[in-house]
Structure 1
Amino acid sequence: MSEAREPEATLKRSLEYLQLKMQSHADAWGLGSAERWDIDMDQGLIWFTQPEVRVTAKVQVIGTHDASDASWLWAWDHPSVEEPLFRDALLVEAFGRKYGLYRYVTRSIRCTRDEAWQFTALACHLAQASGAYCGLASGDTAIYVTFHDTAVERLG
């Protein structure tokens, strides 16, 4: 494959990778239907809770998307996200630097929700994460994360 076509091929693979991961988690424990999710930035953990199951995983923040102004802020330069919680996002930045992709190396950009998912899918693929999630953080701002090392606990 030519060097010029490599970024597009990797982006396509990353979306396929994320789709498979998300479906696997949805089938196994109901990702996407959890009644509650919580992130503890100090511990670097995310929890998904339902009446029958609680899932815990290590979390990485990729970025935030504000729907009110279509802005994306990368976690590697987000004032609320500290190292080591943005290492997966740094993999995307390195990918962007390697291929000269402005949107992947610029702190804040305008983008759609689909593009925010593309950024997250790339992080998930590059980091070989277990999966990814998007949840409303506050107001119109959503947080996009990858997660690793899921532990499923059956309740009741």
Structure 2
Amino acid sequence: MADVQNEQFDVEAYIQQSLKGLELATEAHKATWGLGREGRWNANQDTGELSLHFEDGTVATADMQIIGTRNTEDGTFLWGWEHPSVDPELQRNAALVREFGQKHGIKEMTTQKISCTEERAWELTALAMRLASANGAFRAVAAHGTHVFINFGEVQLEKDPPLFSAFR
């Protein structure tokens, strides 16, 4: 975890710098392999992998960590650390944010369920990305108004064989 021990430390400035880092990483991912243009996604907790599937048959896969889930109906965010639906192996990056919050006395990072805007959820996800030196972040839209905020590692690209290629 980055060294952030200075007593004059500005937590919000650090979070905004983290968000800027996420924005730059996202632009690079968009330009190089098309992040944001995927047709479908899969977050497999058994393998710990995020897969993004593109119309041309390209599949981007990366190790993932679940930072938390946001309920769009009530505006709450449930942290990935100790989340009842998140495999313990996928809680590490979220746990780094909790440790950061404990170190700096930040209640929103040490309280399991918080009120949270979409923007703040992205900021917290960016903070997790920075603390864990992750490669990027993704928001998966799940069922019943739930958004899953994910950090991902190094991206591997491969092409799926076209469907029915034997008939061509």
| Interval of TM-score (by shorter of Structure 1 and Structure 2) | over 0.9
1:37 matches 2:27: no
1:71 matches 2:95: no
Q: CA RMSD in A?
A: 1.4
1:6 aligns with: 10
TM-score w.r.t. the length of structure 2 is 0.88
The one-letter code matched in structure 2 to 1:59 is: M
1:15 matches 2:30: no
1:112 matches 2:117: yes
Contact 1:51 1:155 in 2 (8 A): no
Q: More strand per residue: 1 or 2?
A: 1
1:132 aligns with: 137
1:24 aligns with: 28
Alignment of 1:85-96 (within 5 A): 85-96=90-101
SS at match of 2:85: coil
Give the number of aligned pairs: 156
Match of 1:62 among 51, 63, 67: 67
Contact 2:79 2:113 in 1 (8 A): yes
Distance 2:97 2:34 in 1: 28
Distance 2:60 2:44 in 1: 14
Distance 1:4 1:105 in 2: 21
- Any stretches of 5+ residues in structure 2 without a counterpart? 162-168
Q: Which portions of structure 1, spanning 4 or more consecutive aligned residues, are displaced by more than 6 angstroms?
A: none
Distance 1:18 1:48 in 2: 18
Deviation at 1:3, TM superposition (A): 2.2
- Any stretches of 5+ residues in structure 1 without a counterpart? none
Identity %: 37
TM-score w.r.t. the length of structure 1 is 0.95
SS at match of 2:88: coil
Distance 1:8 1:30 in 2: 30
Answer with 1 or 2: which has the greater Rg.
2
SS at match of 1:84: helix
